[in-house]
Amino acid sequence: MQSGFGGGPERWRNEREVILEAVDSDGDFLDIGCANGHLLECLCQWAQTKGIALTPFGIDYGPRLVELARQRLPQHANNFWVADAWDSQPPRRFRYVYSLYDNVPQVLLGEFVGRLAARCVEPGGTLIIGAYGSRREPAFDVGRFLRDSGYRLAGSASVGQPPVTCIAWVSLEVGRSEQTTHGPARPFGAPLASTEAE
Ligand SMILES: C[S@@+](CC[C@H](N)C(=O)[O-])C[C@H]1O[C@@H](n2cnc3c(N)ncnc32)[C@H](O)[C@@H]1O
């Protein structure tokens, strides 16, 4: 199972390795909505070829997917949690946090980005938002969305014309104390309501 991607391994790499444009140093990398951990596994391998050591972490609200991610990356099995990214709080912060823009309805996306920055990203860390399209339907322009929502971009990148992958990233300033005015949050791993879990 390869995260539902229809193309072959070369196309997969071509369309996903761009995420590493936002990565310039070793660090812990949290994938919000990690599914079976395939993307994380690949990003860590691809980063290694550039001399960058990433440690994979992931959450997903699908318990069976989290189990698959743990099996895929057994040496990091304790780094995976069942959680809903919308209203949960990790036990710690991460150098890199990656989320697809459509992990929440678009009307909640601006608020979601604020929550991830406030709860998950360490000072000096990077929040990366991604979008995937197809050869028929261009990827959502996450950079434009973030700019229009008032975020100052640290960078953006895309693959293809029209774009099949778009990413944009914001950096959390060192020393900046993020507001946590985003409502109550469950700790990662706390039980989800049965309608939220698989
Ligand atoms: C398309 S997969 C992405 C897998 C991988 N991150 C990638 O980019 O290839 C999206 C995953 O996000 C999970 N997901 C969606 N919304 C979520 C949320 N609010 N909290 C936790 N997981 C979520 C889904 O269960 C699914 O496994």
Query: 16-35: per-residue pLDDT in tens?
Result: 999 999 999 999 999 999 99
Residue 111 lies in a domain: yes
Q: Residue 144 sits in a domain of what CATH number?
A: 3.40.50.150
Whether 97 lines ligand 1, by a CB cut-off of 6 Å, is: no
CB 180 within 8 A of CB 118: yes
Whether 43 lines ligand 1, by a CB cut-off of 6 Å, is: no
Residue 129 lies in a domain: yes
Whether 128 lines ligand 1, by a CB cut-off of 6 Å, is: no
pLDDT one-digit tens code per residue, 47-79? 999 999 999 999 999 999 999 999 999 999 999
Q: What number does the ligand 1 atom closest to the CA of 88 have?
A: 20
Query: Cβ atoms within 10 A of the Cβ of 48, count?
Result: 11
The pLDDT assigned to 188 comes to: 72
Residue 25 lies in a domain: yes
pTM of the model as a whole: 0.91
Residue 123 lies in a domain: yes
* Main-chain phi, psi angles of 57, to 5 degrees: -135, 150
The pLDDT assigned to 135 comes to: 82
Q: Is the confidence at residue 2, as pLDDT, over 80?
A: no
Residue 51 lies in a domain: yes
Residue 77 lies in a domain: yes
Residue 106 lies in a domain: yes
Domain count, the chain: 1
Residue 1 lies in a domain: no
Determine the structural domain holding residue 145 and report its residue range: 9-176
Residue 185 pLDDT level (bands cut at 50, 70, 90): confident
Residue 173 pLDDT level (bands cut at 50, 70, 90): confident
**Cα 66–72–78 angle (5° rounding)?**
55
